[in-house]
């Protein structure tokens, strides 16, 4: 995500100016922001203190990190199902021990993804089902 030019403190100060009675158009011109940006800030940070805005930012970052972890786990589950599915196993997200041991095995044998070959040669796509 793009980093804002304004800190939470600055955003809340701009919103406080508006609450004090400053004209929105003049406020936007002075700070070099669009009216859309101002109203988006007001919807997101309206009525907040600086500490609350910082906490919101921390929670958003943590949520983003956790979503990335869940996506990685889902991808690992798909790879493991492709690998172990040929052996007659079916993995579900509730099979914690099976997932843990399969992940350890996968890291130990380093199950490769598609490997790009040098120019002029065929690319190598590993056949995960042939491994035993």
Q: With respect to residue 126, please indicate whether it lies within any of the assigned structural domains.
A: yes
Q: Are residues 80 and 114 in the same domain?
A: yes
129 strand-pairing partners = none
Domain with 111 in it: 69-132
Q: With respect to residue 63, please indicate whether it lies within any of the assigned structural domains.
A: no
Measuring CA to CA, how many Å separate 101 from each of 65, 96, 98, 108?
24, 9, 5, 10
Q: Are residues 35 and 78 in the same domain?
A: no
Q: Are residues 74 and 132 in the same domain?
A: yes
Domain count, the chain: 2
Residues 7-21: tens digit of each pLDDT: 989 999 999 999 998
Which two structure tokens, joined as six digits, stand for 9?
């403190």
Where residue 66 falls among pLDDT bands split at 50, 70, 90?
very high
Q: Is the pLDDT of residue 115 over 50?
A: no
Q: Is the pLDDT of residue 88 over 80?
A: no
Q: Is the pLDDT of residue 42 over 90?
A: yes
Q: Are residues 43 and 96 in the same domain?
A: no
Question: What's this model's pTM, rounded to 2 decimal places?
Answer: 0.54
50 vs 48: CA distance, rounded Å? 7
Q: Are residues 126 and 83 in the same domain?
A: yes
Q: Is the pLDDT of residue 48 over 60?
A: yes
Q: Are residues 102 and 132 in the same domain?
A: yes
Q: Is the pLDDT of residue 71 over 70?
A: yes
Average pLDDT score, the chain: 77
Q: Are residues 25 and 74 in the same domain?
A: no
């Amino acid at each position: 995500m793009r980093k804002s030019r304004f800190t939470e403190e600055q955003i809340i100060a701009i919103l406080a100016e508006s609450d004090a009675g400053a004209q929105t158009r003049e406020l936007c011109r002075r700070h070099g922001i669009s009216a859309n940006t101002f109203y988006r800030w007001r919807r997101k940070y309206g009525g907040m203190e600086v500490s609350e805005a910082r906490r919101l930012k921390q929670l958003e970052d943590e949520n983003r990190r956790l979503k990335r972890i869940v996506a990685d786990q889902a991808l690992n589950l798909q790879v493991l199902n492709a690998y172990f599915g040929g052996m007659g196993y079916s993995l579900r997200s509730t099979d914690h021990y099976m997932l843990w041991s399969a992940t350890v095995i996968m890291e130990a044998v380093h199950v490769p993804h598609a490997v790009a070959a040098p120019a002029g040669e065929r690319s190598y796509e590993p056949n995960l089902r042939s491994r035993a």
